[in-house]
Amino acid sequence: MLAPSVRGVVCEAMSGLRDLTGEPDAPPPRMNTSLTDYIAGLYAAFGAMMALQERARTGSGQVVDAALHEGAFTFMEPHVPAFDKLGAVAARAGHRLPGNTPNSLYETRDGRHVVIAAAADAVWRRLAHAMGRPGLGPDPRFATARDRAANADACEELVAGWAATLDLDALLAALEAGGVPAAPIYNVADIFSDPHYRARDMLAEAPDPEWGSVTVTGVAPKLSATPGRIRWAGRETGVDTVSVLQGELGLDDEEIGSLAADGVVAGAGLPQAKR
- 118 and 80 in a common domain: no
Amino acid at 185: I
- 156 and 122 in a common domain: yes
Q: How does strand 182-184 pair with strand 113-117? A: antiparallel
- 109 and 80 in a common domain: no
Give the per-residue pLDDT at 146.
97
Residue 61 falls inside a structural domain: yes
Residue 229 falls inside a structural domain: no
d(CA 73, CA 67) in angstroms, rounded, equals 10
Count of structural domains within the chain = 3
- 122 and 81 in a common domain: no
Cα distance between the two ends of the chain: 31
- 12 and 55 in a common domain: yes
Residue 214 falls inside a structural domain: no
Residue 41 falls inside a structural domain: yes
Domain residue limits at 74: 4-86
Handedness of CA 196, 199, 200, 203 (dihedral sign): positive
Burial pattern 118-141, b for ≥16 Cβ within 10 A else e, equals: bbebebbbbbbbbbeeeebbebee
- 19 and 66 in a common domain: yes
- 172 and 133 in a common domain: yes
Residue 135 falls inside a structural domain: yes
Active site residue 37: yes
Residue 42 falls inside a structural domain: yes
Residue 213 falls inside a structural domain: no
- Of 19, 25, 37, 121, which one is the catalytic site residue? 37
- 44 and 8 in a common domain: yes
Q: Which residues of the chain have pLDDT under 50?
A: 1-2
| The domain boundary residue, chosen from 86, 113, 139 | 86
- 81 and 118 in a common domain: no
Give the per-residue pLDDT at 98.
87
Residue 190 falls inside a structural domain: no
Give the per-residue pLDDT at 80.
95
Give the per-residue pLDDT at 274.
61
